[in-house]
Amino acid sequence: MIKKEKLLKGLESLVILGKNKNPLLNRHISSSLFFSELKPQERKAILEKFQEISVAQAKHLVILGQIKEEILKSKKDVY
């Protein structure tokens, strides 16, 4: 079991990590692709896959926010 306060802190940590991760990965991927000797089609495929991952990550952040709101509204203190 976990107390409400600890659960909310964990969720907040996940949200912060998720928000900071994509810009960092984007910079690294862009730099790597710039210096790589990949064909333009291969670069495009990698960027498209990264965009799919970014969209999924954004959806996860929304869901985490919804979970956090539900927990804040709840009177339960143990999960």
For 15-70, write each residue's pLDDT tens digit.
999 999 888 888 888 889 888 999 999 999 999 999 999 899 999 999 999 999 99
Direct distance between the N- and C-terminal alpha carbons of the chain, in angstroms, rounded to an integer: 5
Task: Let me know: does 18 contact 64? Beta carbons within 8 Å.
Answer: yes
Q: Where are the domains of the chain?
A: 4-73
3-class DSSP assignment, residue 30: helix
Tell me, what's the pLDDT at 22?
A: 83
Looking at residue 78, its pLDDT comes to: 85
- Structurally, what CATH architecture does the domain formed by 4-73 represent? Orthogonal Bundle (1.10)
